[in-house]
Amino acid sequence: MKRICVDMDEVMADTLSEHLRRYNAFYDEEIAATDLSGKALWDVVSVDRQETLRQILHAEDFFEDLPVMPGSQSVLRELSQRFEIFVATQAMSVPTSFGAKYRWLLRHFPFLPPTHFVFCGDKSILKADFLIDDMPRNLMRFSGTGVLYSAPHNMHAQGFDRVISWVEVLTYFAHH
């Protein structure tokens, strides 16, 4: 059985909308995802507000109630019938996220065994056939086939198979 590793943030969980919601509420602004084409939120926020962005992301409850990416649950359930599915999340960059991410995964993806949740830093350690991720740097160091999940910050990235939705993920893996 082939193995697929799936990133959590911006692939299974909509972290960007929550980050924007909290930032906009704090500063009474209206930055939208459409304002970020080819850029990360960190790239459009002034330097004097970078610490606030970090504090929002590191809040104990940030990862607790993130919206689920549309279609991810049904597609991963279907793919789990033909592939071994692992969730690989770079939790080391936000150590306060471990508990919240674990609870989020249990709540929204109960069909995936917790033994298949990988909390890591450098994803080059993953041993799988495929990695679905929104960060090109993670795919470049991955030894299997990288599949780039579209997000505002990676719109200009090239050199990877790209999917823009979970419907496209299902179609992509119908051929593998």
| Identity of the amino acid at 6 | V
Task: Retrieve residue 99's tokens.
Answer: 């508990």
Handedness of CA 132, 138, 140, 143 (dihedral sign): negative
Strand partners, 4: 85, 130
The strand ranges marked E within the chain are 3-6, 84-89, 117-119, 130-133, 145-149, 161-163
Instruction: Say which of 9, 14, 133, 134 is annotated catalytic.
Output: 9
CA distance 3 to 128: 5
| Known catalytic residue at 43 | no
- Largest Cα–Cα distance of the chain, in whole Å? 50
Instruction: Say which of 7, 14, 133, 134 is annotated catalytic.
Output: 7
Task: Retrieve residue 77's tokens.
Answer: 């359930």
| Known catalytic residue at 9 | yes
Q: Cα-atom radius of gyration of the chain, to the nearest Å?
A: 16
Which residues participate in catalysis according to the annotation? 7, 9
